[in-house]
Amino acid sequence: MTDAQDGYIYKAIANALEGNNPVGLVLGEDYPDHPVPKEGSNENHRRPYAVLDFFRVTDLWKENIMTGNNLVKVWRVRFEKINLDERSWWAPISASENAQTNVQPPTRQCGICSQVSKEIFTAGWMCLNHTCTNHFTMTRDMAVAVNDLTYTKEFLDQRTRVQCEIPEEWTRLQTHLSADDENHGTEKAAHGGFHCVFCGCCSRRIYWNKLICENPKCKVEEPADMKVLPERILAAELAGFNERMLKKNSTVNAGMPQPHWDPLACALNWSFPISSHTFTAGNYAGVRQYFLPKPGGGIAGSFTLIPSNDVVNRAENGPDALFRQLESKDIKLKRNPAAVRGNKMEGLTRHYQRNFGANYKFGVQVDSEGFAEAPPPVLFSVHRLDWVKSVSISQARGWALSNRQTYDGISEPVGDFNELLALGFMEDDSINFHDDGESELGPAVAALSLGSPSVMSFRPKYGKGRDGQFAAYGLPASTAAKKKYPSVLEVPFRHGDMMVMHGKEIQQFYEHAVVPQGMRRFSMTCRTIELSTLSEDERADALVKGAMPADCSMYVYRGE
């Protein structure tokens, strides 16, 4: 390996050597001639990988090699299979049945560094301590080109019986998911990836509803085995969630009664001045509106949580129906590259996305489909969120004016929502702290939560010149060790609930995160892409994609 000493591959191997930790070895496509086990393979496909076994690291040393005219130093690793009692499937037929444990390469002590090294080359002994001035130095009688060095039989054949525990708990990647009572297709195990039943290749699960083999020579596509999540699982998730939140709330908020707060919401720092009030809107009682302060006084923005209830959830085209529609329809949710796009090390987002309406450019590149082509759950959601946005903003402005608060949100123009980002979360997925502060966005963001409950948190931003800005509100000033502020507000965000963030400054001064606590959750989030910020071409595209279909009367929502 060419990894530097602070590289993660080197560190992992060095740790395994030091801790005598087992390492599972899989040969990848860089070894085109490796043998392939016949069992279960389809003869029409060459497997691009082969699973070997568990090994332990016995030696880690540095060698010099010539690449072109350059002498380069590379790390070498020697592995030994742990289970010496079972014949390896890749062993040549001519190999003996039993591993020889009496073979040892000779060793010699270096006259310069005094470190003992094995004699690993047929050409003779060399010091393998890479920090020694004598490292990898050949004597005159060894005269052989570095690239022609070969390892001794003793070094290759050495086998040692050493206690090294092979993990009992390790799971093979699924081939597909059986949709039985225990398995619904969004369990954690289903998310890690799968191995193709045709070519055996390991692939990432990129799509919500289907499994596509990433081996370019195979590309077999199968529907993911998804099953409707039973009501009893959702009810159990909610009961557990309420209990946990209540417990945390009674500890964190003890002795701090807040009449306008959701009974499950937590203020995690009572000196931090978050104002709040409660109101009723349509069929929603107990709507909570929180005002997050700006450093130096005034309000950065408002956050409104509109809690749902059974009447709302069960209404025609209400949250229950929308959740079931999203479960059964393919709205083309997929994971998209979030880091080193297109590279071998490409990292995908943990959750699944699809954009509708105008393009929304954020850290992740997500395809967008016009509202005219969007499925009904998307259009029902946009109309619900448009209603809740208007209600929340007029309440926030009224409260700020009557309480004589400085708040840019009072006068910031707010356009219609012309974009909806649908997110799908499987078990253990979440969205980490971030802001929705892209320069193209209007001052309001609203979301509808469907399915498993989640916790939404806010924390003031740290760094980028903001260190200590919130010190007057009781938050710690900058320390070298702690580079993040803690959350100041945590609220329950459950099935059918909606939320609205309002005020551009809320995105400048705060970050939010959402952590679902269950098996399956959808979030439908609307924003306004401000046309004045776009190029001519982008504006034309946003106007077409963000336009609602001609007759939308069936989608209109007024808080029923």
Smallest distance, ligand AKG to C-beta of residue 539, A:
23
Look up residue 551 and give its two tokens: 């007759």
* 434 assigned to a ligand binding site: yes
Applying CB under 6 A, the residues found at the interface with ligand AKG are 421, 423, 431, 436, 447, 449, 512, 514, 523, 525
CA angle, residues 440, 443, 448, in degrees to nearest 5: 100
Residue the block writes with tokens 């996305």: 353
Smallest distance, ligand AKG to C-beta of residue 524, A:
8
Smallest distance, ligand AKG to C-beta of residue 313, A:
17
CA angle, residues 339, 513, 324, in degrees to nearest 5: 95
Identity of the residue, 63 or 440, whose beta carbon is nearer to ligand AKG in the bound complex: 440
Smallest distance, ligand AKG to C-beta of residue 423, A:
5
Smallest distance, ligand AKG to C-beta of residue 364, A:
10
Nearest residue (beta carbon) to ligand AKG:
523
Our measurement of the distance from residue 477's CA atom to the centroid of its chain's CA atoms, rounded to an integer in Å, reads: 30
Identity of the residue, 129 or 525, whose beta carbon is nearer to ligand AKG in the bound complex: 525
Identity of the residue, 224 or 514, whose beta carbon is nearer to ligand AKG in the bound complex: 514
Identity of the residue, 56 or 389, whose beta carbon is nearer to ligand AKG in the bound complex: 389
Identity of the residue, 152 or 452, whose beta carbon is nearer to ligand AKG in the bound complex: 452
Identity of the residue, 128 or 456, whose beta carbon is nearer to ligand AKG in the bound complex: 456
Residue the block writes with tokens 């803690």: 486
Residue the block writes with tokens 């070519």: 199
Taking residue 477's Cβ as centre, other Cβ atoms within 10 Å add up to 10
Identity of the residue, 78 or 521, whose beta carbon is nearer to ligand AKG in the bound complex: 521
Identity of the residue, 13 or 514, whose beta carbon is nearer to ligand AKG in the bound complex: 514
* 130 assigned to a ligand binding site: no
Bridge partner residues of 118 (DSSP): 107
Residue the block writes with tokens 């001064």: 509
Smallest distance, ligand AKG to C-beta of residue 363, A:
11
- The 8-class DSSP code of residue 260 comes to T
Smallest distance, ligand AKG to C-beta of residue 357, A:
14
Q: Evaluate whether 506 touches 302 at the Cβ level (below 8 Å).
A: yes
Smallest distance, ligand AKG to C-beta of residue 425, A:
7
Burial class (CB in 10 A: 0-12, 13-18, 19+), 480: exposed
Taking residue 121's Cβ as centre, other Cβ atoms within 10 Å add up to 20
Look up residue 487 and give its two tokens: 């959350």
Bridge partner residues of 445 (DSSP): 501, 527
d(CA 198, CA 43): 9
- Which helix (H) or strand (E) element contains residue 81? strand 70-81
Smallest distance, ligand AKG to C-beta of residue 430, A:
8
Q: Residues for the chain: how many in total?
A: 560
d(CA 435, CA 452): 23
- Which helix (H) or strand (E) element contains residue 155? helix 153-157
Bridge partner residues of 447 (DSSP): 499, 525
Identity of the residue, 198 or 433, whose beta carbon is nearer to ligand AKG in the bound complex: 433
CA distance to 11, 290, 447, per residue, from 495 (Å): 44, 20, 11
- Report the binding-site residues for 2-oxoglutarate: 434, 512
- Report the binding-site residues: 434, 512
